[in-house]
Structure 1
Amino acid sequence: MGFTSPVKTFQHGLRSKYPPRSRLRWHISNSSSPR
């Protein structure tokens, strides 16, 4: 119950900081890049 609030605010902050396109590009580049 108490986790839902912080998680939502965290997600909202990420969304406002990084648009879906930027996040998608970062995710793709991160996935394609070998570790």
Structure 2
Amino acid sequence: MSLTNSNKLGVESLVNTFVPFIFLITEVTQPFKKALS
């Protein structure tokens, strides 16, 4: 039980790290996509 619980915690921390990162990348690349289209 504790193993799955810690695994879930690791996944949540990964999501919390990657979601703003992906959002930042999309925000940065949006003007480039608009310029190309």
TM-score under structure 1 length normalisation: 0.44
More helix by share: 2
Q: From the CA coordinates, give the structure whose radius of gyration is larger.
A: 2
